[in-house]
Amino acid sequence: MTDFLRRLLRSPQGALGCLIVGLILVAVVFGSYLTPYGPEDMQPLARYKDPSAAHWLGTDQYGRDILSRLLDGARSTVVMAVAATVIGTLGGAILGTGSAYLGGRADEFIMRTNDAVMAIPSLLMALMVVSLLGSNSANALLAIAIAFMPSMARISRSVALTVRKQDYVSAAIARGEGAAYIVLREMLPNVIAPIVVEMTIRVSFAVMLFATLSFLGLGAQPPATDWGLMVSEARQYLHRSYWILMWPSAAIALTAIGFNLLGDGLRDALNPRT
Amino acid sequence: MTDTDMALRVEGYSLAYDVKGGQARVLNGIDLSIRRGEILGLVGESGSGKSSMASAIMRHLAGNARENDGRIWLGGTDLRAQTERQMSDIRGRRVSMVFQDPATSLNPTLRLGEQLAEVLVRHRGLTPRQAWAEGEARLAHVGLKTPREMMARMPHEMSGGEKQRVVIATAFACNPELIIFDEPTTALDVITARQILDLFAGLQQETGVASLYISHDLALLSQTADRVAVLQKGVIVEQGETAGLFRTPQHDYTKALIAAAPQPDRRLVTPLDTTRAPLVSVRDVTVNYGRKSLLDTLLRRDYAPVVGSRAVTLELRPGEVLGIVGESGSGKSTLAKAMTGLNRFDGLIDFDGRPVTGLSDMDSAYRRDVQIIFQHPDASLNPRQRIAEILARPLRLYGRGQGDPRARIAAMLERVRLPASYVDRYPHQLSGGEKQRIAIARAFLSNPRLVICDEITSALDVSVQASVIELLMELHRDTGAAYVFITHDINLVRQIAHRIAVMYRGDLVEIADAERIADPDRAPYTRQLLEAVTPPASARLATTPQD
């Protein structure tokens, strides 16, 4: 494990990614204790303030301190996005790898069904799931996970098809291993590298998808401090103060960049050959 | 001898690559020279720097290459002093190269004529029309029957041998002073390789071009080369006239290389008890690839499957070593895959009284008894599993209640002569030969009664191959397991097999006793195959007994 960490930190992307994701994690864990103001405390006299010593990142349309809201919102935003991505990715990876392993008609059936699901835009898919199951955060998470699955299944299947032809898979079949062992232990570890990279890019999509769901009234509701919600709320006040829009957008971008860099670092560190 | 007699001179040349944590030295103080019209064989195992030498002469080195101030002269030209632009005029015109794999050295998206004519237009200043006509003449010259049609073909429309002929035609196209051959026959079948070698010998005689012939195959060099240089870890340990070098090798490494080459008359197996009932009998096993699609059924279209092997029938006694030989595509591996349940098949495999007619009949006991070892140890060991996990699987599947798994793995590692500390390693931390030993250990941990070896030595160096074969025969004596040994190395299989089966395009041509495979009353294809085989170097030249 320490060996793995050392390899991760040796590459510049890995080190920087770890740093940014580490900072975000600090905000996730301790965010609500570090806020200088209450995230929902309105100050009618200090609306649309630019960044200053009193309000480091300025205030929004109700005079709420943006820094406090960002710190407070980190937990729900990042944890939800990461959880949805991980569930969606793992599900898709197992589906795609399993499909590649089975081959033949089963593969054809799974992938054509997958194509049919992919034809529905992921936002519509998520909307459908939420409206079927009822609107709350847990269902929104599930909806996004399901929306991510088909494309992850495609990516992992294409990688798994080349792994399927390798002799170590043939060797496993020849000694009579079960399908679950072959998919999970022989194939999946060799498929994982591109999936991890893809997954880290998906985290930022997930943040935005959550924001969209919230915007449509199917996810987090005002006055919640979800970052995506903050962006969509700030949209209307852009002409009064662009800071309201900029800070949560920057936070989302930083999260995306951090996870992307971490993904690059992980890809190298996960490969035992380097 | 004056300088002008020399086609190539390499003086005191050293090469290293910058790698993480220092430099990896590849070539050390190389001194080589090739006279005009001479063939110099350069022999060495993988990693000895053979191919780096070729790249250095072509001035086509990787970015991290660091050279010393050694000289490389092509005739009177100092190649190290040439600019990249001048070199591109020299490459193809004065020095050209033939690579190992014709499948990858031709551009798959260009017609052959375009690829051949391009060289002539570029270096001999012909017009495209002239070049096309000249190209046809060149193709006729390398023994291709229909040069006009060949010029219009794409590379995938021809066989490997034909492709290599085109590559050779391209190399000879501008009458260069030197041609570098980098293992030109390794990727080809025995018979095709023999034809290519004959073609090379003919062209060489005719044009008198100087050649650097790189190979790992001593036997082959003993036939083709005038002089041979032996390269070990970047140092030329011995260099001399071919006949003399093989008769009285001076350096230990050369002696070891010559001794490691398989010799058909040095049998490594003990005679078999022929009275015992067969362990396996394969009856009319046919393997077809591809399946009839739903659309074909709906449209009632005829469907012709690709035949992998056709109605193969053979028997194997307990403890017998059966060699299967044939060129690529002859159905050797297909049969192996059918016997291990990796392919669907029609027909019957009778294993020790249990009939197996399909994949569903292959139960755990059959899987335990029949083990397969693959050609490439890189591909057959999962790169993300440690040796401990790789070796623990057969024990977990079949070996319940037979003692402590860790102790058994350690004992097996000792048996295949690897240190017990290897259990914590990943496959990529092992050398090719060590990896193949792990694959052998995995197969034998389930105490099999039949082991199928699918070309297990062809990816290994000669000396490593010898030690792997030695290990395999030792395990054969100890465990009494029967082997099906699939290979294209006929010298090797004559050494270790009791009987040899010859396959051709999916059919079993014949099965003969290994001692009698060279008899004159064998099938025509068998005779053709044996004639194409290069006899081992020491068998013809050496009078000194090895060992």
pLDDT in tens, A32-82: 788 888 888 888 887 888 888 778 888 888 888 888 888 888 888 888 889
Tell whether A116 lies on the interface with B, counting CB pairs under 8 A: no
Are B372 and A171 an interchain contact pair (Cβ–Cβ within 8 Å)? yes
B290 φψ region: left (φ > 0), alpha (ψ -120 to 50), beta (else): left
The C-alpha torsion from B379 through B383 and B384 to B387, rounded to 10°, is 100
Are A172 and B367 an interchain contact pair (Cβ–Cβ within 8 Å)? no
With beta carbons less than 8 A apart as the criterion, state whether B234 and B25 touch: yes
Nearest to residue A197, comparing CAs of A159, A254, A147, A238?
A159
Are A176 and B362 an interchain contact pair (Cβ–Cβ within 8 Å)? yes
The pLDDT value recorded for residue A241 is 83
Tell whether A168 lies on the interface with B, counting CB pairs under 8 A: yes
Average pLDDT estimate for A2-25: 85
| Residue B109 in tokens | 């998206």
Query: What values do phi and psi take at B372, rounded to 5?
Result: -125, 140
The C-alpha torsion from A20 through A25 and A31 to A32, rounded to 10°, is 160
Tell whether B251 lies on the interface with A, counting CB pairs under 8 A: no
Choice among A110-114, B289-293, B482-486 with the minimum mean pLDDT: B289-293
Burial of A118 (0-12, 13-18, 19+ CB in 10 A): middle
Tell whether B545 lies on the interface with A, counting CB pairs under 8 A: no
B178 φψ region: left (φ > 0), alpha (ψ -120 to 50), beta (else): beta
The total number of residues written for chain B in this structure: 547
The pLDDT value recorded for residue B545 is 41
pLDDT in tens, A155-168: 999 999 999 888 89
Q: What is the distance, to the nearest Å, from the Cα of residue A57 to the centroid of all Cα atoms in its chain?
A: 25
**Nearest CA-CA distance, residue B499 and chain A, Å:** 25
Average pLDDT estimate for B515-527: 87
Are A167 and B380 an interchain contact pair (Cβ–Cβ within 8 Å)? yes
- By Cβ distance, the residue of B337, B385, B397 closest to A176 is B397
Tell whether A3 lies on the interface with B, counting CB pairs under 8 A: no
Interface probe with A: pick from B382, B387, B400, B436, most Cβ of A within 10 Å: B382
Neighbour-count burial for B300-311, b at 16+ CB within 10 Å, e otherwise: eeeeeeebbbbe
Are A272 and B446 an interchain contact pair (Cβ–Cβ within 8 Å)? no
With beta carbons less than 8 A apart as the criterion, state whether B499 and B184 touch: no
Nearest to residue B373, comparing CAs of B416, B402, B330, B414?
B416
Question: In which band, very low, low, confident or very high, does the pLDDT at B543 lie, cut at 50, 70 and 90?
Answer: very low
**Which chain A residues are within 8 Å of B380, Cβ to Cβ?**
166-168, 170-171
Tell whether B371 lies on the interface with A, counting CB pairs under 8 A: yes
Average pLDDT estimate for A191-208: 81
Average pLDDT estimate for A229-246: 85
With beta carbons less than 8 A apart as the criterion, state whether B281 and B315 touch: yes
Please give the sequence-ordered ranges of beta strands (E in DSSP) within B76-158, or none if there are none.
77-78, 95-98
**Which chain A residues are within 8 Å of B375, Cβ to Cβ?**
167
The pLDDT value recorded for residue A257 is 86
Written as one letter, the residue type at A256 is A
pLDDT cut 70: percent of chain A above it: 98
Q: Which residues contact A215 (CB under 8 A, 6 or more apart)?
A: A228, A229, A232
**Which chain A residues are within 8 Å of B385, Cβ to Cβ?**
185-186, 189
pLDDT in tens, B348-389: 899 888 888 888 888 888 998 999 999 888 888 998 889 999
Tell whether A272 lies on the interface with B, counting CB pairs under 8 A: yes
The pLDDT value recorded for residue B457 is 86
Tell me the longest C-alpha to C-alpha distance in chain A. 76
**Nearest CA-CA distance, residue A188 and chain B, Å:** 10
Question: In which band, very low, low, confident or very high, does the pLDDT at A273 lie, cut at 50, 70 and 90?
Answer: low
- Write out residues 386-445 of B within 8 Å (CB-CB) of A: 393-394, 397, 426, 428, 439, 442
**Which chain A residues are within 8 Å of B372, Cβ to Cβ?**
170-171, 174
| Residue B305 in tokens | 């499957």
Cα dihedral sign for B377, B382, B384, B385?
Answer: negative
Are A189 and B382 an interchain contact pair (Cβ–Cβ within 8 Å)? yes
DSSP, res B312: E
The pLDDT value recorded for residue B292 is 66
**Which chain B residues are within 8 Å of A171, Cβ to Cβ?**
372, 374, 380, 439, 442
Is the pLDDT score of B405 beyond 60?
yes
Cα dihedral sign for A250, A256, A258, A261?
Answer: negative
* Residue whose tokens read 């029309």: B129
| Residue B521 in tokens | 């009353």
Tell whether B382 lies on the interface with A, counting CB pairs under 8 A: yes
Nearest to residue B255, comparing CAs of B267, B266, B246, B265?
B246
Examine the predicted complex and report whether its ipTM is higher than 0.85: no
pLDDT in tens, A75-129: 888 888 899 999 999 999 999 999 999 988 899 999 999 999 889 888 888 888 8
| Residue B49 in tokens | 């720097």
Nearest to residue A219, comparing CAs of A92, A118, A117, A133?
A133
The pLDDT value recorded for residue B546 is 41
pLDDT cut 90: percent of chain B above it: 17
The pLDDT value recorded for residue A41 is 81
The total number of residues written for chain A in this structure: 274
Choice among A40-49, A187-196, B459-468 with the minimum mean pLDDT: A40-49
Is the pLDDT score of B540 beyond 80?
no
| Residue B88 in tokens | 């591109």
Please give the sequence-ordered ranges of beta strands (E in DSSP) within B244-402, or none if there are none.
280-289, 306-316, 321-325, 346-351, 354-356, 370-373
Neighbour-count burial for A176-214, b at 16+ CB within 10 Å, e otherwise: bbeeeebbebbbbbbbbbebbbbbbebbbbbbbbbbbbb
Is the pLDDT score of B402 beyond 80?
no
How much is the CA Rg of chain A, to the nearest whole Å?
A: 22
